[in-house]
Structure 1
Amino acid sequence: MPEADVAAARRVRAHDVVLGVALAIGVVALGVGEGWHASPGVAAVGVVAAALVAPALARIDVAVRLLPNALTLPLLAIGAACAVIAGARGAWHGPVLAVVVALVLGVLWWTGGMGAGDLKLGAGLALAVAPLAWWLPLATLAAAVVLGGVAGLVARVRGAASVAFGPWLLAGAGVAVVLATG
């Protein structure tokens, strides 16, 4: 793909923003219904941030197989801040498990199993969901692996060598958050 096309695909578009805001409003509504604004306090912040950037990240990763630092690094920072605050409030199980998930993703990156953008996104998502429930970072990764694995098998049958993993990380986080509210 020519460099100009890659640069154009990496730009956040108006429909990315509209979809991200719609997802964030849905997360806020879900959070209010679940009482996230009360006890964990910071719980919804990381998930709302992930919802805001999810459409752009998914579209860009599918288009050019890149997850831009301009979107993944702020999410990683917000997720880390939320996890630290949750840990300081005594809910440290989720943040510790999120760090373990990040280390597993780091090993996968180190061995060539995924890109650095996937590592940053996956770690950010694990840290962002950690304040909601201790098991959510692991559920996020497990759901992403299952969804991405199925997509990879379908892609392989269709002749593609691989699939972008970012959308499946995002979908896995969404599935895990919905499971936590059930």
Structure 2
Amino acid sequence: MRPVIAQLIWRAVRRVLGLLFLIALVLTGTGGAIVVQGSRDEADRADTAVLMSDGDALSRAARVERATSLYLNSHISRIIVVGQAPAQAQAILLNRGVQADKLQMIRAPSQQAQLDQLHSAFATGRPIDALLIAEPVEILRLLKMAHDRGLPLRGAPTSRTSAIDLGAVVDEVGRYFTYVLASASAQR
């Protein structure tokens, strides 16, 4: 009788260990995808730049500088500033030479609400050709959120440094799966 119980216990332990290994593999793979997408710059000529203006002041300044440079070098023709308080970024862009009629602001409390409003801003019927200028660690999740709303944005990750912090990647893996699981349960 004992060998049968031992076999059942060993089988259960193997299943639990296999499940834990699979979960670790998925989390590690997602972290790797976040790093790869955060390192991949798809910035080229585009009609519009979507500037995510939230975050710390230094990173926001780097993103504003990137959007200004793209605009002044004629790589983009307009900028949509998105965030909880986009007025400061808009003021800096105006001071740096971006024309007021080429700027649009979207103010919303959450990134999901911001992307919903962005979808409405792009509802002109013509094809969307836009860059998403955001924090490198956030770019994968934001592109996923945009894609889920029918916005085919390309990533232009921009931060104050080129290094991606491991702690930020771990936090972003959690945010990514929170979004994916919440959107999956909302569709049911």
Higher percent of residues as helix: 1
Determine if the TM-score, normalized by the shorter chain, exceeds 0.5: no
Given the two structures, how large is their TM-score scaled by the length of structure 1? 0.30
Higher percent of residues as strand: 2
Given the two structures, how large is their TM-score scaled by the length of structure 2? 0.29
> Using CA pairs below 8 Å that are at least 6 residues apart, which structure has the higher relative contact order?
2
Structure having the higher Rg: 2
